[in-house]
Each structure stands twice: as C-alpha cells, then as structure tokens.
C-alpha cells in the first residue's frame, strides 16, 4: 500500500443552477367511485379564486445577513413571476428561483458589508399582480471559516461511476447538513435521478446517480458554501464550480477466488488479467471502488507503518489509487509468478507491467473497480465509496428526504 496523499480541486468560478425538483403522479389503478345524487343535478359552483398574498425575506432593514442569503418567497393564489436583486452602487445580481418556489438563489455569493434591494413580483392566473420590495445589509467578512474541497475539474472526462465528492474540514455537524446540502447544486444532462449521501463523520458528501452515469453525460456542479453560518461559529469558506463529462463505460471486476480481473468495455468482456491481491496479514478490501488518481510513476514509501514487516520504499509504475488507505492497481513485475495463483501483496492489486500499462492507457478517474472474496470489507469513506451501497442504503445518508427516486437531473 502506498502513502496517503490528497489533492483538492479548487475551482472558484460560479454558475447559475437550479435545484431539486419533484413530481407526483396519481394512482391510475384506483377504481372510480360512485356519484350520489339525482340524475341531471347541476355541477357544484366554481369556488372563488384564492386571494393573492406575497411575503418576502429578509425583512426590511435586516442587518448582518450572510453572503449566502437567498431571497425567500412565500406566495398563495399565484406564483412568482419576477425577482430582481440590486446592490447599492453595483448593479443587478443574477440568479434563479428554486423549483419549489421557496427562494431565489443568487448565482454568486453576495458581497460583504453591502446593501441590497430585492423586488419580487407574484402574479395570479387572471393576471393580477403584487410586488414587494425589501432592503438588507450583509455582514462583514467572518474570521473563522471551514475548509472545503471539490473533487471535480473543468473540461475533464470521467468514468461512469464518478461521484461528485465534497470534503469538509472540520466535518459538518449533523444538525447543519441539511442547510449545507441545500447549497450543493448538481445538474446532469441528460437528466438522471441523483442524491447526496453524507459519510458518518460529516467530512465527506457524495452525489451519485441511481445507476452509473450514462456515457456522454455532463455534470454541472456548484458548491455554494461561501458565507453559510454553521453551529460551531464558523462559516462556509468559498463557492466552487466545475463542469465534468462522463466518458465510455469501462469496468474492472476482480475475483479473489480465481485471482483474475475481468475487464469490460461497454458491457463486453475484453480481457482477463491474472492478479495477486493482499496476503492474509494485509488483505485487499472487498467492495465497489472507483479509480481516484492515476500516476504513471510514483514511489510507495511506507516507512511510517507501525508494523516493521510492512515498511518499504519502492518505485511503482502505472499506479491507480482505489482507497485513501493506500490500495492501488499497479505494475508488480516482482510478483508475476504469483499472479493468478496466490496473494502476496500489501493490499494492492498486482498485475504485470504489460497489463498495467494496457489498463493505464484505458482507464479514467471514476471508472468502477469491484473486488470480491477477500478477508476485509471496504470501509465507508476509505476512498470514494459511494457505489459500495445500494440505492436504498445510499439515500438514507441524505440530510434532506429523497423522493421520487432522487432529483431528476438537479439537486440542491
């Protein structure tokens, strides 16, 4: 196993996105009920239209508002038809209305210590309208913020199992997660159901589809955290944005029983590769992982391992990281005689140099790798473990209830 290192994709450009929308359908199998009353009875009169009522937030004159502030909208008898937000001396702010109509989300964080004016118009089906205006002032820049990272880069192509991964330091407390999750926006094109899942300690959150992403999918992501107030007295540090693309389907399945890796392209078996997995004292993890990082050449340095028998410094070629704990697929010319026969590694998937090179040229970050039949199960959060759960298990980790199979291409 190699030494653990991490890198965050720090992306600060921002985008206009729209969040989670839901839909509901009637029960087509319900039997029609009997209608009581005499034949020819007149229909009930049409009830009067609900009067138009509109309320907005923040309240007029509100002070020290977070720069993550959204324009809250509550309307009855109509719907929101226009929202404008302007900053004193600075022009208009772009943004979009949430699908549920609960608020209007600025496309970028607001500025610190500035005065804003929001004008909201609601309109009835008959054309009656009402407009409310409110002005508020944002807070000064806070001194205590969390750290965060987004594992997604612009204009890169990923595997079909690539989750959107957000990391937090310190972890987000459970009571704050719904608030934070509502500011994490993902749009998939073509639309595919998806949901968020929090790792137990709150240091990571994953977004994935119900199934692997369709090849050719575009993922637009905004993690709009700047200025979010948290219960520990800290605030979100920055907004992050990235747009990634999903490439062709490429999968690797490793069976400890046969000591072989089966490689599939587009669902078809294209190669079978002998492997050597972790020996009994350092077993490989069984579960569904994804390729997290690729290095054509690197050095595995485990001199800090508490077990002296596991300490070594070795040059490694064609390394593909699977876990934070240091499990990789990599070239291991020293174990070729054991590959396909017995396990001798420190937890990695050993393959020949020729097979390692062939895989390295084929794979993408985000390609799925499933290992089965070993002595150890993959631990949650040891790598990007979003796909090591069934969909039913995965959605239970959302801080916001997931309905109708997840967001139809949008979340937030």
DSSP string of 226-293, one letter each residue:
TT-B-TTS-B---EEEEEEEE---EEEEEETTTTEEEEEETTEEEEEEE-B-B-TTSPPEEEEEE--E
Contact 169, 380 (CB under 8 A): no
Annotated catalytic residue, options 25, 197, 330, 346: 330
Contact 236, 145 (CB under 8 A): yes
Q: Is 330 a catalytic residue?
A: yes
Dist CA 200 CA 159 (whole Å): 25
For the CA atoms of the chain, what is the radius of gyration? Answer: 26
Q: Is 348 a catalytic residue?
A: yes
CA 197 to chain centre: 8
Run of H or E including 71: strand 71-76
What does the block give as tokens for 76? 């009855």
Cis before 170 (ω within 30) = yes
Annotated catalytic residue, options 25, 197, 346, 348: 348
Catalytic residues: 330, 348
């Amino acid at each position: 196993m190699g030494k653990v290192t991490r890198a965050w994709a720090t992306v600060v450009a921002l985008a206009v996105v729209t969040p989670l929308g839901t839909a509901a359908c009637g029960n087509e199998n319900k039997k029609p009920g009997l209608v009581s009353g005499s034949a020819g009875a007149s229909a009930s009169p049409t009830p009067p239209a609900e009067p138009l009522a509109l309320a907005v937030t923040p309240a007029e004159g509100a002070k020290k508002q977070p720069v993550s502030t959204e324009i809250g909208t509550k309307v009855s008898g109509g719907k929101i038809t226009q929202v404008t937000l302007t900053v004193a001396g600075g022009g208009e702010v772009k943004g979009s209305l949430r699908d549920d109509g609960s608020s209007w989300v600025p496309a970028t964080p607001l500025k610190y210590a500035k005065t804003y004016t929001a004008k909201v118009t609601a309109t009835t089906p008959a054309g009656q309208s009402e407009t409310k205006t409110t002005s508020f002032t944002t807070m000064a820049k806070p001194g205590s913020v969390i750290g965060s990272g987004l594992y997604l880069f612009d204009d890169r192509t990923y595997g079909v199992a690539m989750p959107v991964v957000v990391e937090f330091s310190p972890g987000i407390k459970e009571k704050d997660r719904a608030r934070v999750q509502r500011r994490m926006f993902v749009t998939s094109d073509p639309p595919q159901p998806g949901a968020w899942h929090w790792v137990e300690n709150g240091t990571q959150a994953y977004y994935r589809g119900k199934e692997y992403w369709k090849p050719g999918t575009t993922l637009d992501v905004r993690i709009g955290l700047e200025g979010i107030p948290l219960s520990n007295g800290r605030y979100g540090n920055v907004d992050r944005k990235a747009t990634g693309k999903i490439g062709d389907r490429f999968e690797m399945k490793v069976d400890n029983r046969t000591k072989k890796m089966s490689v599939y392209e587009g669902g078809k078996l294209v190669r079978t590769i002998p492997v050597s997995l972790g020996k009994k004292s350092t077993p490989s993890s069984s579960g569904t992982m994804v390729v997290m990082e690729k290095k054509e050449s690197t050095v595995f340095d485990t001199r800090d391992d508490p077990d002296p028998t596991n300490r070594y410094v070795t040059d490694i070629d064609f390394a593909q990281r699977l876990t934070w704990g240091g499990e990789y697929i990599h070239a291991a010319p020293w174990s070729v005689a054991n590959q396909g026969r017995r396990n001798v590694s420190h937890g990695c998937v050993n393959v020949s140099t020729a097979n390692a090179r062939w895989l390295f040229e084929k794979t993408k970050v985000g390609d799925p790798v499933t290992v089965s039949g070993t002595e150890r199960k993959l631990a949650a959060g040891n790598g990007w473990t979003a796909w090591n759960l069934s969909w039913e298990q995965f959605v239970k980790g959302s801080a916001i209830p997931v309905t109708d199979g997840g967001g139809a291409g949008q979340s937030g």
